Structure 1
């Protein structure tokens, strides 16, 4: 019991201190050490750190470094080439300020589904959203929720083929790919989009009845505005050329997932690397190929028009390290916790939440851990690192496909991850120059409330009809 209490104390402190703004790069090893000390394993402290924490951290980095690196690079190339600006401006011109909320949501969703980083999207879209909301006299406090709906929900967790890291994490555990359970993912995505828009539009209507308007805000020149001006002619490029890299991310991924790798004899890989299971890795390999092709296409298509290609590449590459090592540190923390005696009680409690239906148990575990860490990728990684093998076994025993387990895991991780201490939410509010008090309740509604409804619907349909 003492070891279990030690785990709970360390988890609560991790959540509280992360909310206070302390980096998890430091918090994760410190809270893991605290759990070890409180559980009475003081003499094993150093071996646990070097063999358990660092092994799990390095293993995660080894497996997912290419996805983080290429994703960050692709996002920076899209931003600095002017492609992201072209796409978002085109949507604005078609829908206009009369549909300001829908315009912002769609612009964010197109960019994130195409592989552009959430943070790049937030910086790029905020100046546009600010102008649209002011022109339409919609409260500025609804801007963060609109950006969050388009960036942090259905395009991150539900839509099949999304290159978001969350959608890649379950692949080596379940032997799936980013297109897992496409039908259910689309249904879940429609519920998230429709429900989120209904909420935001109802808040807009309520504010209009009260005569609230945009509000009075002291606003300077946003970083994205300055970047736009610096890019000059590059901020506008042909729409077809701007959209092409996004189509390549999804299209090349699908091509290698369903046509190339399944028709290849990969026995030569096993002969050279006997520990590699190609059936569990082709999903990651396909995503890597797609991102490389998209990045190369962007670079080549804009040769001679880059303001400073070297600076863009360096900025993109350097930008991947903090998100990767934040998540990897949380994985190391999870591995230490899983090795403590008290974790057996927690594991059994979670696994027995819904005997006979591992989908419900998995959804609870992902939501809880994502909420504690304030990170969908962190919570998902910890849960699969500690319970992935158990869930796969339970799914096989219950006749549930790994593809359905994959989709439920990713959607569940995108539920409580946006609690107030979530780093992405704190950053988004900072970009918009707003506070939790002003905007958080609407963010919570579209990133936690509505996605929970979608998750319940997907679990119910999957239980009745299986994966489709």
Structure 2
């Protein structure tokens, strides 16, 4: 029990200090070792340096090895889309087409397209904020609802539910389950619809209530908005091409090209099953081609130069991968502690249905680490084979495990200490007190309902 208290104390400090702005890269190893020291009170051996170098760093490094190419190419793609005005072009086109009086719908649709096309949440948020703020101000919608609107379209359905999404949360299960980004498409679309309509209608209902109460956009004297010059943006047709390349390219490679090729050398020479890497390879190649096309179509729009954009993209990928890798290292240290047996036993003992345990473990561990990708990685690393064995014994398609794990990890991950939540509030200039209640509703509560729905449907054999 003392060891469990140590884990709980460590987690609470991680949440509180991250909320206060401390770097997760610094906090994660320190607090992982703090939890480890509580093993002394239960008669266990504690080797702090070995725990740091052989458990924390080994698992963090392994995460970097497996996923840095996706982080790197995703950051480069997002930066190119941002600096060339491509993301803004898509957002403004959707806003104009949706029309006045439907500003919330416009932002959600535009953001969903951008993120589904491969642009990271962080880049999408920066691109959407000035447009969203201008639309909200003109429509006199309270600005406190803007973080929820942007978060809804960048942290939910487009990130983890829509089949084919190139976001890392949808990519990670491929390594453990041998699936691809399009796993369980029907369930993915159902989950996406629940999150899309549930979240959007919630925000609209809050806006209507605020309007009846006489509340408008609000006074924000320190608001710093960069105006978007619509005359210097690429056309929507040009802007959408790189996104289509990511989606179509990945589908063609993973479903048509790679299945017809001989990859036996992977097992023979590298001792790895082809199914564990081909999904990532499809995504990597698609992103490379999309980046090349985005650059070639917008050569004259790089105001700071192509090399400057690529350099900033590379630098941005470092922080993103190291934050997540540190959270993965933290989670894996916790996983090795004897007290974690209480947590693991509780998670695995909740139900004999592997879809239930997959959903709960992915979501709970995402909440512990403050990271959807970190949570699903740890859950599948620790219990993935068990989930697969149980699923096959019950006749459940492995694709369903993939979709449940991906959707569920996008629930409790968005608690107040989540890095994306803190960043989003910072971009919009809002505080947790002003905006988190609605942001939490659309990124935690509604996605959790979506996960429950596809667990129920997946248990009935729907894929």
* TM-score of the two chains, using structure 2 as the length reference: 0.95
Q: CA deviation at 1:396?
A: 2.4
Once the two structures are TM-superposed, the CA of residue 368 in structure 1 deviates from its matched residue by 1.6
Q: How many residues align?
A: 459
Q: Distance in 1 between matches of 2:327 and 2:109?
A: 32
CA contact (8 A) 1:177 1:257 kept: yes
Q: 1:218 aligns with which of 218, 221, 237?
A: 221
Residue 262 (structure 2) pairs with residue 259 (structure 1): no
Structure 1 Cα separation of the partners of residues 332 and 434 of structure 2:
38
- SS, match of residue 183 in structure 2: coil
Task: Give the alignment's Cα RMSD to 1 decimal.
Answer: 1.7
Mapped to 1, the partners of 2:144 and 2:223 lie a distance apart of 17
The counterpart of 1:248, out of the listed 220, 245, 249, is 245
In 2, are the aligned partners of 1:366 and 1:413 still within 8 Å (CA)? yes
Which residue matches 2:112?
109
2:460 corresponds in structure 1 to 464
Distance 1:243 1:204 in 2: 30
In the TM superposition, residue 43 of structure 1 has moved relative to its aligned partner by 4.6
Q: Does 2:158 align with 1:155?
A: yes
**SS of the residue 1:169 aligns to:** helix
1:341-388 Cα shifts (integer Å, max 9, x gaps) = 22223211110111x201111211122222222221222222222222
Does the alignment pair 1:336 with 2:301? no
Residue from 60, 63, 68 that aligns with 1:65: 68
Pick from 439, 445, 450: which aligns with 1:449? Answer: 445
The correspondence for 1:292, drawn from 288, 295, 314, is: 288
Q: Which residue of 1 aligns with 2:121?
A: 118
Return the offset for 1:219: 4.1
Q: Which residue of 2 aligns with 1:397?
A: 393
The structure-2 alpha-carbon separation of the partners of 1:438 and 1:3, relative to structure 1 and needing over 3 Å to count, comes to closer
Range 396-405 or range 455-464, more displaced: 396-405
Cα 1:35/1:192, change in 2 over 3 Å: same
Match of 2:321 in 1: 324
- The answer as to whether partners of 2:267 and 2:273 remain within 8 angstroms in 1 is yes
**2:183–2:399 Cα contact (<8 Å) kept:** yes
Uncovered stretches (5+) of structure 1, i.e. residues with no partner: none
For structure 2, the residue ranges without an aligned partner over 5 or more in a row are: none
1:25 aligns with 2:15: no
In structure 1, which of residues 124, 130, 133 is the aligned counterpart of residue 133 of structure 2? 130
Does the CA-based 8 Å contact 2:36-2:46 persist in structure 1? no
- 1:279-306 CA distances to partner (integer Å, 9 max, x unpaired)? 2211111111111110111112223443
Q: Which residue of 2 aligns with 1:415?
A: 411
Structure 1 CA distance for aligned equivalents of residues 268 and 361 of structure 2: 37
TM-score normalised to structure 1 length = 0.94
In the other structure, the counterpart of 1:79 is: 82
SS at match of 1:217: coil
Residues 39 and 46, structure 2, Cα contact 8 Å, conserved in 1 = no
Give the drift of 1:42.
5.3
C-alpha distance after superposition, 1:76-104 (max 9, x if no partner): 00011121111111112212331111011
Moved more, 86-95 or 379-388: 379-388
